Amino acid sequence: MTRQIRLALRAYGVGGPGQHSLWKDPRVPKNASIDIDWYIAQAKAAEHAKFDALFIVDSQFIDATYPPHYLNRLEPLTLLSAVAVHTRHIGLVGTLSSTYNSPFNVARRFASLDHISRGRAGWNVVTSFDTGTSRNYGLDEHLDYATRYGRALEHVTVVRGLWDSYEDGAFPADVERDVFLDPAKLHPLDHVGEHFKVAGPLNLSRSPQGQPVIFQAGVSEEGRNLAAHVAEGIYAPNGPLESAREYYADIKRRTAALGRDPDHILVFLGAQPVVAGTDAEAHRLSREIFDADNDFPRKLAAFGRAFGAYDFSRHDLDAPFPDVAGHAERGGRTRGGEIVRRAREEGLTLRETVLAFTEYRPSPFTGDPRTVAGTIEDWFAAGAFDGLNLGFRTHEDLDRFVGDVVPLLRARGLFRTEYEADTLRGNLGLPVPANRWTAAEALR
């Protein structure tokens, strides 16, 4: 079968990062971020187009400078459980922090979503980017990188162990023999590790896809290593073609080095296409969108996220970039470190640094439908991604992509015309993980 592109939709309601003015658009409901009917409509449109998944991002810390969507939004698994009963095929991927959740609770919540959706759940594992989250959980400061990622690896290991608590066929429910449960197929976990001590078992059986699909997002060394160990899908940052190819190749190399099949880890590149009647019109629209959402005060406020929501407004804009490297160490270390390095090497002021890192860069997927489809094909063929994690400003933008670009991808044999399976794993071409207890017994 010819390799095909995977498509996911990420929904941001009234405006995520870089979309601070989106709530003013008359086409966007002012309560979109908390309106379950809005999410259901988005999911149904994506499912009608045969997208692989709906992706819900999350964070648990805000201040008044954060994007509008972040200020007032639904909890991901509650949201996706509602969407599940209004859809049949599209995958449902929710973000949950391994730093601020217990493995047993995470295992139970995602296994429940997997049953509610009949095998369409996915967990996007994050270690929490916002350092202020710690104060919402009784901690004075955010855990350091090494601790967060070590905890994340053990967390996923424990969760997967709990998902294997029951072997298939554990519930014969045989009335004549008066046997509801086969106790030989129920297994406690008895995990004792560096970060967690969990007895188990989980009080929920395996779903049709065996286990929810594990997704992960991260560009740091620790993030890439975590992905290589546990991820089956990755949400990769957008950027130029060469950096996308480098990231893709690096993840595949790390995965293979651990003895995993690199085809069983799918890289979804973040993309926000801008499609119009002509290339010129699309680029004009792209620039208008940027200008509406990126006035300097908003840029300055958003700039602090990589440094633990640091308030840069306290500094002289035309003085040298301040010494804030320590604030990035527990927050967005990769981006924060790059900002500090460049500012020092080039002798930039705070104003110059903000402008340098927030300058206008149109999406590579900007143009008329043929241009956008052609660029997607070129990047796919060049080894930049397995799929795209698509964001659209309005429902009309999603409809235009679905109506004008997706048919061109199909005509080139790059995207499905029908779903291949009823589960997220099946549609992504990922294997069903064998229950560890069943597999161990088969080796005896």
Provide the annotated binding site for FMN.
Answer: 58, 95, 149, 220
b/e burial code for range 146-177 (CB count within 10 A of at least 16 → b): eebbbbbbbbbbbbbbbbbbbbeebeeeeeee
Q: Could you tell me how many residues make up the chain?
A: 444
213 close to 245: Cβ distance less than 8 angstroms: no
Distance CA 22, CA 192 (A): 47
Q: Which residue type is seen at 225?
A: N
Bond prior to 103 in cis (omega within 30° of 0):
no
- Provide the sign of the torsion angle of the four alpha carbons 207, 209, 210, 211, taken in this order: negative
Which helix (H) or strand (E) covers residue 352, if one does? helix 350-357
> 338: Cβ–Cβ under 8 A, 6 or more apart, which residues?
none
Distance CA 405, CA 397 (A): 11
* Paired tokens of 253: 């190399």
> 3: Cβ–Cβ under 8 A, 6 or more apart, which residues?
none
For residue 377, the number of C-alpha atoms closer than 13 Å in the C-beta half-sphere is 17
Q: Could you give the C-alpha distances from 347 to 257, 303, 343, 352, 355, in angstroms and in order? A: 40, 18, 6, 9, 14
Binding positions: 58, 95, 149, 220
